[in-house]
Structure 1
Amino acid sequence: MSSQITDRPPSPLPALSPELAQLIRPLFSGVSPTGGVAVAVIRGNERTVVCRGYADRSGARPVRADTRFALGSVTKTFTGLLLAEMVARGEVRYEDPIDRYLPAEVLPGYPQERPITLLHLATHTSGLPRLPVGLLPSALPRWFTAPYATFSRPHLLRALPRTPVRGMPGAQVRYSSLGCGLLGLALESAAGVRYEELLASRICGPLGLIDTSCGPHGYRRGRRVPSFRLPALPGAAALSSTADDMLRYLQAHLAVDAVPITDRGGTAAALKAALREVRLPRVERRRSGARIALTWNQRSVEEGELLFHTGSTGSLRGRGATAEASGGRDGGAASAVFAGFNPVAQVGLVAMASTLPGLRRRFTQTAYATLRRLAG
């Protein structure tokens, strides 16, 4: 096993093999001069973390393997894993209707003959819209600082009965951050424990993810930036993590039987079962042939089966763009995150960058192409 970590900006890439350096080099181009990048690679027995740039505009804090980035919608993969873990324990079932865990009087209206289930929420087939009704007006006054901070659970509960459901649940894939957020609320209701605490005890703690939580992430002008405050729907996009932790997270998905898990009251057996469950295809997208596992996107390519998810912060627009602006008017860059793995090739990639909003999509597309090349 090799691990190369650098916390020095620009200069040449660290002493990687020429092949690996060439493969990951595109991820370091086109990023904001005041931003930073952290890339974690798993390839067979090799573990590599490479960091470039700064965590603050002043250049006082270089990005390191333990620098926290907001994960944005990559949070959803943790929520999907939590669902599978609770199913493995027998605490919930995939086919459970959401009104078993959430008050029926505040839920969206949908055909009673086919209720929205937990699996619908985890596979974006609930028919729910991308975001809650009423969120945008509440976000506008804090657009550049904390757009969702004032959208509380009472706001959500008042908005849900007015939320439209398009079509029959289970009939079609429509990406919904609202749906994954409701899944997090349903799971915490089933367990009687807040989402953050449930995730810490069932997922992050057992896997040794010591810097993954809804706590602070990153820096702005040398000061800690609070995490994205999403009081109503933390299961959609509220987590922050580091390259080190995300490397461990992907390793757990790639080598389920070999991953060390802190076992407390049957934790290891349930979590290992969940790690296998989350990568099984559940629904297929029309025309494209791409599939949805438990929140993960799954795609068949020449290199094998790829599972991946993206996240971004800094805007309400765009798929998965559901987290707080990490810089706002002060000039701190928005962030982009990609996490993906290929179980057959035993390859995984996490790429996290604080970058200008216009470059986020290009960054995640480059990361997807890099994962394919690593598996090739």
Structure 2
Amino acid sequence: MRTRTRTRTRTRTGIAARLAAAAQAVDTPGIVIAVSHRGHRTVHCGGSAPPPAVPRDQQRYEIGSASKTFTGLLLAELVGTGRLLYDDVAAHHLAPGRTPDTAPRNPATLRHLITHTAGLPALPADFYPQAVRRWSTDPYGGYPAERVVAAYLRTRPRHRPGTRWHYSNFGASVLGHTLAAATATPWEELITHHVLAPLGLTDTRLHPEGTPGAGADGPCADGPCAGGADTGGPAPGRPGADATGHRPNGVTPVPGLVMGGFQPAGAVRATPSDLLTYLEAHLDPSGTPLETALHAVRRPVLRRGLGHRHTHTLTWFQHPSPQGPLYFHAGATTGQQAFLGFRPATHTAVVAVATRRIRLRDTFIATAYALLSEESG
């Protein structure tokens, strides 16, 4: 018994040392790296800025494109409960009752949209003119959901859906709006009641603090989901607060990112603890409220092409390793970065968040990925 205890202690000490070294390797004002290994969590906070009033590991971080894993899980849950089919044509839900002469131009399905194979560009063509003047602070806020849908319905696919992979915030956003249209329920309400609440993600939000929808009693509380006024700020009894992101220089702060009509592609902000809870559900879906959906998003559905290691599930990039496949997704906003990854074979999950958008010589993703790929216990 003592031998087992000593082994566990050495393992935890080794993980803590590796997290500290990893944090040192990334030049950012604030960083949190958290690991769940066989049910035990280890968290390290660091960064060049002085420690904030609210501890770094209790702040909520923008996870950017890693939000797509939440929208993909929502899709899997709605399909698993029989409300939708992966092969539903998105435009049929977004523009029902069209005649053949006025039928939408894109036959892409829900599966195509979530796997980036719908033949769409990264963003709509008319997105850039309105965003360029505020590209580094608020590029998405001026482009609402109705405009995303209208742009999609008039966009012809660049290639036949399902034949080529091209990463698209546009497509993931259209998927979220399609799910809302098909269920007659706002996307925020869907994601809250079908993903966040069942998994117990009580300190995850879909808006920056102080903006409409950033309610105090849970995701989207007192906001558009409930139809009330914004109360702003963290929930009573919880010290959570939004982390402040920074420009690439690591000094200039940027405001919290408002995603406008692109919420399904990048709106999630959460504490490292909530993000570990989310990944732990993926590690062992058994007995969770989303068991079927969580198993579904681990199945590979496509390969990017010759020379790529990536296999894609509905929501995750998947890489092979000697100790079983790695699943991961990264994200970046105007001032923050995030990495989420898990490896079921070693019962390991890794969350890394940073308060700087690192564009050149980015060590953040490589460092977080190395922790996931090397951690074998």
**What is the TM-score normalised by the length of structure 1?**
0.79
Instruction: Give the deviation of 1:26 after TM superposition.
Output: 3.9
Does residue 46 in structure 1 map to residue 65 in structure 2?
no
**What is the TM-score normalised by the length of structure 2?**
0.79
Q: Does the 8 Å contact 2:302/2:312 carry over to 1?
A: yes
Whichever structure has more strand as a proportion of its residues is 1
Q: Which amino acid aligns with 1:375?
A: S
* Counterpart residue number, 1:243: 272
Structure 1 distance, partners of 2:79, 2:114, is 13
Does residue 336 in structure 1 map to residue 301 in structure 2?
no
* Counterpart residue number, 2:219: none
Structure 2 distance, partners of 1:138, 1:203, is 32
Structure 2 distance, partners of 1:279, 1:272, is 11
- Structure 1 residues 133-212: aligned runs within 5 Å: 133-212=125-204
* Counterpart residue number, 1:232: 261
* Counterpart residue number, 2:18: 23
- Structure 1 residues 97-108: aligned runs within 5 Å: 97-103=89-95
Instruction: Give the deviation of 1:285 after TM superposition.
Output: 1.4
Find 1:300's aligned residue among 320, 323, 343.
Answer: 320
1:101 alignment partner, SS class: helix
Q: Which amino acid aligns with 1:281?
A: P
Instruction: Give the deviation of 1:164 after TM superposition.
Output: 4.2
Instruction: Give the deviation of 1:365 after TM superposition.
Output: 1.5
1:201 alignment partner, SS class: helix
Instruction: Give the deviation of 1:17 after TM superposition.
Output: 3.6
Instruction: Give the deviation of 1:219 after TM superposition.
Output: 3.3
Aligned residues: CA RMSD: 2.5
* Counterpart residue number, 1:277: 296
Q: Does the 8 Å contact 1:125/1:174 carry over to 2?
A: yes
Instruction: Give the deviation of 1:101 after TM superposition.
Output: 1.4
The answer for unaligned runs of 5 or more in structure 1 is 1-14, 260-267, 315-333
Instruction: Give the deviation of 1:157 after TM superposition.
Output: 3.9
Q: Which amino acid aligns with 2:31?
A: V
Instruction: Give the deviation of 1:362 after TM superposition.
Output: 2.0
* Counterpart residue number, 1:12: none
More divergent stretch after superposition (189-198 vs 96-105)? 96-105
* Counterpart residue number, 2:83: 91
* Counterpart residue number, 2:109: 117
Q: Does the 8 Å contact 1:41/1:348 carry over to 2?
A: yes
Find 1:290's aligned residue among 303, 310, 315.
Answer: 310
* Counterpart residue number, 1:363: 364
Q: Does the 8 Å contact 1:342/1:375 carry over to 2?
A: no
1:48 alignment partner, SS class: strand
Q: Does the 8 Å contact 1:304/1:342 carry over to 2?
A: yes
Count of residue correspondences: 324
1:233 alignment partner, SS class: helix
Instruction: Give the deviation of 1:153 after TM superposition.
Output: 2.7
Q: Does the 8 Å contact 2:116/2:168 carry over to 1?
A: yes
More divergent stretch after superposition (198-207 vs 162-171)? 162-171
- The alpha-carbon distance between structure 1 residues 108 and 373, as it changes in their structure 2 partners (threshold 3 A), is farther
